[in-house]
Amino acid sequence: MSIIKTATLQLSVSEDKRANLKRLSDFMDKPELSGADLITVGEMFSCPYDTLRFPEYAEPMGGESFLYLSELSEKHGVYLSAGSIPERGEDGKIYNTAYVFGRDGKCIAAHRKMHLFDVNIKGGQYFKESDTLSPGNSVTVFDTEFGKMGLCICFDFRFPELSRLMALKGARLIIVPGAFNMTSGPAHWELLFRARAMDNQLFTLGTSPARNEKASYVAYGHSICCDPWGKTIFRMDEKEGICLAEIDLDYADEIRSQLPLLSARRDDVYSLSEIK
């Protein structure tokens, strides 16, 4: 089995955590999502993207939101890439954490954002996640009935080494909950997803929150999916909505056999290894 039916949910985000979770539930109940195998949502979909407020919304793994998301995936019998939410770790630190739940509701992947978004772009965006967040340190690849998939969060995706490590671990699809802003989004969002897909000869799937011009941080939107040839399969607009797509993961193997980038690497000259 290689064809996976995806449903990308680009959702509006309010300050009410429970209302945001209920919004996801309502969307998952929509008839057009019947038959979906994988549902994805955006980064920090359950709370405002506001650094200083992340501790206010943070929950431990296994907390209220975690259990709610687990129940949703089991209820609908789908893989749920539940965007990301603020996690309060056992060490007391706050992380930006993405969870993936299997069809049975069990958590099959948890990724803590590795690269914190600390930027000061002249004439554009200033943001400093490290004011309240701590970085994770794991490359995240997980198994499904369709094959291996990779998972990272937004700014992580800018670092080509991470995507290459996921590809070398067998990922044929990389899922990226993200929230690019109105400075970086128009410049780099589609370019980045096409480049990572082309370089690693896999599918890339990025899910953003919908744009809210009144928010303290304005997300770009434009959730996107690209194929192993670097072609854009779909790109949404900035508004709340759903995009359905079928992805044939075997196409990654086909492209890799025709244009053997991964197998032609010169490991005798250069190499990339995961260091713990």
**Is the Cβ–Cβ distance between 223 and 42 less than 8 Å?**
yes
Closest CA to 20 of 52, 36, 42: 42
**Is the Cβ–Cβ distance between 180 and 219 less than 8 Å?**
yes
276/45 Cα distance (integer angstroms): 30
154 is catalytic: yes
57/16 Cα distance (integer angstroms): 10
Q: Residue 148 in 3-state DSSP?
A: strand
43 is catalytic: yes
Q: 43 burial class (0-12, 13-18, 19+ CB within 10 angstroms)? A: buried
CA atoms within 13 A on the CB side of 1: 9
| pLDDT tens sequence for the chain (276 residues) | 789 999 999 999 999 999 999 999 999 999 999 999 999 999 999 999 998 899 999 999 999 999 999 999 999 999 999 999 999 999 999 999 999 999 999 999 999 999 998 767 666 666 688 889 999 999 999 999 999 999 999 999 999 999 999 999 999 999 999 999 999 999 999 999 999 999 999 999 999 999 999 998 999 999 999 999 999 999 999 999 999 999 999 999 999 999 999 999 999 999 887 765
35/168 Cα distance (integer angstroms): 30
Q: Which residues pair with 272 in a beta bridge?
A: none
The model's pTM is 0.96
240 is catalytic: no
Catalytic residue among 47, 107, 113, 226: 113
Catalytic residue among 107, 152, 154, 225: 154
* Whole-number pLDDT of residue 94: 97
* Whole-number pLDDT of residue 71: 98
Closest CA to 163 of 253, 272, 84, 258: 272
Distances (CA, A) of 97 to 38, 59, 137, 217: 19, 10, 12, 19
Mutual angle of helices 64-76 and 17-28, in 10-degree steps: 10
Q: H or E segment at 149?
A: strand 147-151
* Whole-number pLDDT of residue 221: 98
